[in-house]
Amino acid sequence: MMSKTAGSKPPENLTPPQGAMPKVNKVTAHDITASLKAGFSDFLARPFMSGFFGLFYAVFGILFVWCLVWLEKIWMIIPAVVGFPLVAPFAAAGLYEMSRRLQRGESFGWPEILTVMANQRKREMGWMAFVTLFIFWVWVYQFRTVLVIVLQDSSFSDFDGFLNTVFFTPQGWTFLAIGACVGALLSAVLFSVTVVAMPLLLDRETNFVSAMITSVRVVTENPVVMLTWATIISVTMLLSLAPAFLGLIFTLPILGHTTWHLYQRAVQPAEG
C-alpha cells in the first residue's frame, strides 16, 4: 500500500527558477542632473550619517597610504591613490540603503543600516567585492610591471624622488602614458560591471553575474551618458583626494546617493 505522501517529494535535481533579466532604460543627461539633485537632497536629509561613510573611507585611505610609507613601498602610493576610487561602489552600500529608505519614507537609524550591510555577506554582494578587489589588484600589479620595465635604470629612495623621476624624465613620461592607458581600460571595465550592479544586488534578489550583465547593458545602451557619469565620478573623486582624502567626507556620500537614483532610472523595477 502506497503512503499518502508518496509522489509528493519534489525531484532533488531541480534548481530554483532564475528570474528574468532586469530590463534597462534609456537615460539622458537630465537623468544625471535629476539624480545628482536627489543625491544631494539625501545627503542633506542625513548629513552626519552620510558623512560618516565618507569619513570612514577617507580615514581608511589615509591609513593605507601611511602604511605604504611606513613599509617603504613608495612606488605603491600612486597606484593606491589612483586606484582607491575603484572600490568606492562597494563602500557605498550603506548609502544605497539610506537612499532607498528615504525614498520610501521609512524611518531608520544605525541598527537598520548596519544590519542590512552585514546581511550582504550572505548574498551576492561578496562576489562583487571580490571582482572589485581583483581588478584593483590587477591595476597595482600592472603598475609595478610597467614600473620595472620602463624605469628599471632609475632609482628613488623617497616619495619626492619618485615623483621627480615619474614627472620630470622621459622614462617617467613613457611610464605615465602606458600606465594611463592600462588604468583607463581597467577603470572602464570595472565601471561597466559595477555602475548599477551594486545597488541592483542590494535592491532585489538576483545573482552577481546577472547584475554585472545588466550593468554592462546599461553602459552599452547609453554610452555617451554613462561616459559622462564616469567622468564626473572620476574627476570628483580624484579632486577629493587632494586635501588628504578629506574631500571624500562630502563627495563620496553624494555620489553614492546619486548612484542609487541613477540606478532606478536606468533599470526598470522588478515585476510584481
pLDDT in tens, 3-23: 444 444 444 443 334 557 899
The rounded distance, in Å, linking the Cα atoms of 153 and 155 is 7
**What value does the mean pLDDT take over residues 132-147?**
86
**What value does the mean pLDDT take over residues 27-31?**
97
Question: Cell for 246?
Answer: 578629506
Question: Who has greater pLDDT, 230 or 12?
Answer: 230
pLDDT of residue 11: 43
Residue 227 sits at the vertex; the CA angle it makes with 226 and 228, to the nearest 5 degrees, is 85
pLDDT of residue 203: 92
How far out from the chain centre does Cα 8 lie? 46
What is the share, in percent, of the chain residues with pLDDT greater than 90? 44
Helix (H, G, I), strand (E, B) or coil at 86: helix
**What value does the mean pLDDT take over residues 207-225?**
96
Residue 120 has pLDDT above 80, yes or no: no
Q: What is the pTM of this model?
A: 0.85
Question: Who has greater pLDDT, 201 or 117?
Answer: 201
Q: Spell out the long-range contacts of 100-107 with Cβ–Cβ below 8 A and sequence spacing 24 or more.
A: 100/202, 100/203, 100/260, 102/42, 102/45, 102/46
| Number of neighbouring beta carbons within 10 Å of residue 144 | 14
pLDDT of residue 7: 43
pLDDT of residue 149: 87
pLDDT of residue 155: 64
Helices 29-45, 223-241: inter-axial angle, 10-degree rounding: 40
H-helix or E-strand spanning residue 100: helix 93-104
The rounded distance, in Å, linking the Cα atoms of 115 and 195 is 23
74: closest CA among 139, 168, 143, 135? 143
The per-residue pLDDT for range 42-101, each reduced to its tens digit, is 999 999 999 999 999 899 889 988 898 888 787 788 788 777 777 777 778 899 999 999
User: Residue 72 pairs with which residues in a beta bridge?
Assistant: none
Residue 247 has pLDDT above 70, yes or no: yes
Listed by start position, the domains of the chain span 29-266
Question: Cell for 54?
Answer: 565618507
Residue that has been written with the C-alpha cell 541598527 in this structure: 111
Residue 236 has pLDDT above 80, yes or no: yes
pLDDT of residue 91: 73
> Among the listed ranges 110-124, 177-191, 197-211, 240-254, which one has the minimum average pLDDT value?
110-124
